[in-house]
Amino acid sequence: MTDSNDKPLSSSQRAVHELRQMILTGQLAAGTDHLESELAAHLGMSRTPVREAALLLESKGLLEMRPRKGVRILPVSPDDMREIYDVLTELESLAAQRAAEAGYGPKDLTLLTESLHRMEQALEKDDLEAWAEGDEMFHSELVRLGGNKRLQDIVSMMIDQVRRARSSTLFMRPKPLKSNEDHRVVLQAIRDGDADLARSRHHQHRQQAKDVIISLLEKHRLRQL
């Protein structure tokens, strides 16, 4: 395992990546406790790098460390989702505004355009998983285009926190036709340099996504994901 400079990752960094993945996929299920020693054995390293990794993931809101009970994977409740989506919505909308103000040319918007294309193709094939990938690509690229690294990091952190809930509800939600339409409008607004439209349409989009996912969680009594 290497990082972007082809240097092998330290054990601690590897532990971060693998624990994060296990949390996001639900392999380490919400609400479960795991001793440091157990995780260390599983990852094939000593407790020290595992502890470092867990401390970091704790600061990103994915788990909590409780002495003598171990590492608890934090569940996400509908109220948590409200909090997270509020933060996400504000920050992504600002990114959309900034992207529209930035005066990007067509080349700059290649990935954003491609992600939209992917989503459209996925919906034609009723492939919701491919659609979700395109959606993630769109949002991630949009935030990158907003040009604020701190904002990007915070959004990433929030996205991680809602990952399991989004995956769990992917097949329960209506076909995301409206999402694709919103994405198209946001992209066009960015092309046109229309910051107000980019911002408000994206805000509305995220707000609706929040309402949809929360009502699904409540309807299906999914209290701790």
Question: Which residues of the shown chain bind a copy of itself in the complex (CB under 8 A)?
Answer: 51-52, 55-56, 59-61, 83-84, 86-87, 90-91, 93-94, 98, 148-151, 154, 158
150: partner contacted, choices a copy of itself, DNA, none (Cβ within 5-8 A by kind) = a copy of itself
| 61 within 8 A of 157, measured Cβ to Cβ | yes
CB of 69 to DNA, least distance (A): 7
Cβ neighbours, 10 Å, residue 16:
21
Shortest Å, Cβ 61 to DNA: 18
Burial class (CB in 10 A: 0-12, 13-18, 19+), 43: middle
Q: Is 4 in the site for DNA (CB under 7 A)?
A: no
Tell me the H-state helices in 44-109.
47-59, 78-101
Q: Shortest gap between Cβ of 140 and a copy of itself (angstroms)?
A: 17
Query: What is the phi-psi region of residue 29: left when phi exceeds 0, alpha when psi lies from -120 to 50, beta otherwise?
Result: beta
Binder of residue 140, out of DNA, a copy of itself, none (CB less than 5 to 8 A by kind): none
CA 218 to chain centroid: 21
Selected binder of DNA within 25, 37, 59, 215 (CB under 7 A): 37
64 scored as a contact of DNA (CB under 7 A): no
Count of other CB atoms within 10 angstroms of residue 205:
22
For the chain, where are the E strands, in sequence order? 33-34, 63-66, 70-73
Q: Is 68 in the site for DNA (CB under 7 A)?
A: yes
Binding site partner of 59, from a copy of itself, DNA, none, Cβ cut-off 5-8 A by kind = a copy of itself
Work out what residue 121 binds among DNA, a copy of itself, none; the CB cut-off runs from 5 to 8 Å by kind: none
